[in-house]
Amino acid sequence: MTFTFGIYPGGLLGTDTGIRHPVSPDDPALITAALRRLQGDTPTLLVRAYRHYAASSRPTSTPADPERLLGDGRKLDLVLQFREPSGELGGWLDFIRDTVRTEGPRLAMLQICEEPNLNLPIVDGSIPNVQQALIQGVIAAKEEALACGYDIAVGFNAVPGFDPADPFWGELGAAADDRFHRALDYVGLDFFPDVFRPLPPEQLVPAATAVLTEFRTTHLARAGIAPSVPIHVCEHGWPTGPERSEERQAEVVEEVIRTIAGLRDELHLTGYSLFALRDADSAGTGLFDRFGLLRDDYTPKPAFDTYRRLIQELGS
């Protein structure tokens, strides 16, 4: 089974309260050099980027101009975020179709909406009509890709659900029709074990295994999404900081990736993207400051070589 790796290469990130800007601007040349080292001689490395839509503003991407980071087999894993406060879909669907037409040759994956099952201001679960934005957006993207002759994997992502009463998956299953299921190429999972809910080290692998298994067998099943639809781990990372050593970051990256690799046949897992390439602020003490494999000056932490080695060993 083909298994692809990727990474979010920017310094800007969303937190539980807003946007965290990096202390220094992204440097495309240094980012590209780091991506080349990570990719090595594997055929591809996915470059994850985010682009938001709201009718009242011009779409912007993070990192800016991600096309500059492609080449040598690297392709774009692009997230289109639904940020229209009214919930109106006409302009959103036009935006999706236009993105497919203009970005199609550079796209490997196109994710419709960002974390639509999470009701936080920074992600799309807080926006009215997000489920229809998701369903109609997946259909529109796939139809446009087929019409243009582009081989793009179209999907959506979600976060793990820990509330048995959460209606998201059941409502999605009730609202989605055959057109949606035919158009859906993958479902993404964003998960961060031992970050927001600290775990003893010996519980990391069992916890990751449980989340991945429940996502497949419980959540996707409730939405009527077939076991044949692949899961791609779209975001996973572990920040360094006070009481969070760089050495432990490397261990967590390796343990989680090897857990995913061990389950890829059983759960139909086809890819993994790490969050993130570099820190927002290597001197910061906040939880979101130091997610990077590189410090904010682009010097590597031990986890950089760990991830590079795993890509060479396990990449397609």
161-219 confidence digits (pLDDT tens):
988 788 999 999 999 999 999 999 999 999 999 999 999 999 999 999 999 999 999 99
From residue 172, how far is each of 138, 156, 165, 176 by CA, in Å?
13, 12, 14, 6
Number of Cβ atoms within 10 Å of the Cβ of 85: 11
User: CA-CA distance, 222 to 168, in Å (whole number)?
Assistant: 9
Taking the C-alpha atoms of 169, 170, 175 and 180 in order, what is their torsion angle to the nearest 10 degrees?
50
Contacting residues for 25 by C-beta, under 8 A, at least 6 apart: 11
Q: Look up residue 299 and give its amino acid.
A: T
Under DSSP, is residue 221 helix (H, G, I), strand (E, B) or coil? helix
Looking at the DSSP bridge assignments, the partners of residue 75 are: 46
Per-residue pLDDT tens for 250-281?
Answer: 999 999 999 999 999 999 999 999 999 999 99
Say what the pLDDT of residue 163 is: 84
Say what the pLDDT of residue 203 is: 98
Say what the pLDDT of residue 2 is: 84
Say what the pLDDT of residue 164 is: 79
φ, ψ at 46 (rounded to 5°): -85, 135
User: CA-CA distance, 58 to 221, in Å (whole number)?
Assistant: 37
Say what the pLDDT of residue 100 is: 98
Domains and CATH numbers, the chain: 4-314 (3.20.20.80)
The string over 132-155, giving b where at least 16 C-beta atoms fall within 10 Å of a residue's C-beta and e elsewhere, is: ebbbbbbbbbbbbbeeeebebbbb
Residues of the chain with pLDDT under 70: 1, 316
